[in-house]
Structure 1
Amino acid sequence: MTTNLAAFNTGNYYAGPKWKVLLWYFCNYYIFNSAFPWPYSLKGRLLKLFGARIGKGFVIKTKVRIKYPWLLTVGDHCWIGESVWIDNLAPVTLGNHVCLSQGALLLTGNHDYKRADFPYRLGPINIDNGAWIGAMAVVCAGVTCGSHAVLTVNSVASKDLQPWLIYSGNPAMAVRKREINAHTVTLLNTAAI
């Protein structure tokens, strides 16, 4: 048996109404994936208009690609850096205070390489409170990044990341515990008052 890409079909996968997908395509291309620095508030309102759930304090930089905003939930005070790609064929959920650094890729789908017709194999991604996905890092389908976990630059998470650990490599492996300086947290909390 060999791979037969001519036999591929999306099966029962449904992205949404064609008009909505097409309208989002243009909005995504001209506003979100643009190098022009559109205001964060405008981008947040547009995402909400298309069905995303967006918390307060949302920061989203230029050249960001989001497949389907109606499958996106973003908590409070999240940062999405330049050239992030959220390829969400399945739901993506970001907790509060999550940082996606430049060029990070959240990849909710791939293909079943064991089948000749190469069908979709999808899974949601959950990134819990305080987690940080480093620049050019990849989070694969079905992965949960635990609270305050860190995925370092250019690493690939193909399995769940446990809370409060720093992961590095491909595949990502835990390298040490994450510790946050109490003095820094105190300064941040004082500045918010």
Structure 2
Amino acid sequence: MAREAAYVATDHIDESEHADPYLRPAFTLRNRLMRVLWGVVWLLLYRPSPRPMHGWRAMLLRLFGATMGPNCHFYPKSKIWAPWNLFCADQVTAADGVEIYNPAPMHFGSHAIVSQDAFLCGATHDYNSAAFPLIAYEMRFGAYSWVCARASVGPGVNVGEGAVLGMSAVATRSLQPWTVYTGNPAKAVKERVNTMERSA
């Protein structure tokens, strides 16, 4: 079953912007201005902040529309493309070097972890269209899921509750709950103990 895009650039950008579709912007002027402003705030206030100041960085993300539950730990070298499309429950962690490219909403459940240098890619292009429009997908990372260091998650891929994507693995399809995946493309290698059932 084909994934349904949450955002298609051609639905939002008028053809009059440029005759060549490859030269048209993928986002509205307001979106671009907001990202410029966020980039300045990230560079001057977010990135230089001391590592323990998680509350400060969460506050900055909230100021730009992010939903941040209690005790989220977003480290200073983490990059969030659009804070207004970031939805976090409690205890969500994004380590240094994490890049969250979220032109459409990304949701993180309680205690979800994204480790160093992981890349979460929320968009691609429709290469079968002459306009080559950007298309973005809403994505979900379940409670207690873990995207390990240098792993990548592709557009429209959902990570189930408690799922683990191993180091440098590449997820091109959604991951089942409480399952460990490795490789490129990522394949299930074993089950993970469901700690939620143990604590019940």
TM-score bin, normalised by smaller chain: 0.7 to 0.9
Percent same amino acid at aligned positions? 31
Runs (5+) with no aligned partner, structure 2: 1-19
The number of residues matched between the two structures is: 179
Deviation of the 1:30 alpha carbon: 2.7
Runs (5+) with no aligned partner, structure 1: 1-5, 187-193
Deviations 1:93-113 (A, max 9, x none): 100000000001111011122
Aligned match of 2:112 in 98, 117, 131? 98
Deviation of the 1:180 alpha carbon: 5.6
Which residue number corresponds to residue 52 of structure 1?
66
Return the alpha-carbon distance in structure 1 between the equivalents of residues 176 and 29 of structure 2. Answer: 30
3-state DSSP class of the match of 2:59? helix
Which residue number corresponds to residue 136 of structure 1?
150
Deviation of the 1:15 alpha carbon: 7.6
Return the alpha-carbon distance in structure 2 between the equivalents of residues 38 and 178 of structure 1. Answer: 30
* 1:40 and 2:34 are equivalent in the alignment: no
Deviation of the 1:84 alpha carbon: 0.4
Could you tell me the TM-score, scaled by structure 2's length?
0.81
Return the alpha-carbon distance in structure 1 between the equivalents of residues 195 and 90 of structure 2. Answer: 22
Check whether the contact 1:55–1:74 (CA below 8 A) recurs between aligned residues: yes
3-state DSSP class of the match of 2:100? strand
Could you tell me the TM-score, scaled by structure 1's length?
0.83
Which residue number corresponds to residue 36 of structure 2?
22
- Say which is worse superposed, 27-36 or 141-150, in terms of deviation: 27-36
Check whether the contact 1:62–1:82 (CA below 8 A) recurs between aligned residues: yes
3-state DSSP class of the match of 2:34? helix
Return the alpha-carbon distance in structure 2 between the equivalents of residues 14 and 77 of structure 1. Answer: 33
Return the alpha-carbon distance in structure 2 between the equivalents of residues 142 and 14 of structure 1. Answer: 22
Aligned match of 1:67 in 81, 86, 101? 81
Aligned match of 1:85 in 99, 102, 106? 99
Check whether the contact 1:95–1:129 (CA below 8 A) recurs between aligned residues: yes
Aligned match of 1:178 in 174, 177, 192? 192
Return the alpha-carbon distance in structure 2 between the equivalents of residues 164 and 181 of structure 1. Answer: 9
Deviations 1:33-66 (A, max 9, x none): 4485371111011111111000011111121111
Return the alpha-carbon distance in structure 1 between the equivalents of residues 111 and 70 of structure 2. Answer: 10
Check whether the contact 1:10–1:120 (CA below 8 A) recurs between aligned residues: no
RMSD (Å), alpha carbons: 2.3
Paired letter, 2:131: D
Which residue number corresponds to residue 152 of structure 1?
166
3-state DSSP class of the match of 2:167? coil
Which residue number corresponds to residue 190 of structure 1?
none
Describe the shift of the 1:137–1:105 C-alpha distance in structure 2 as closer, same or farther (beyond 3 A): same
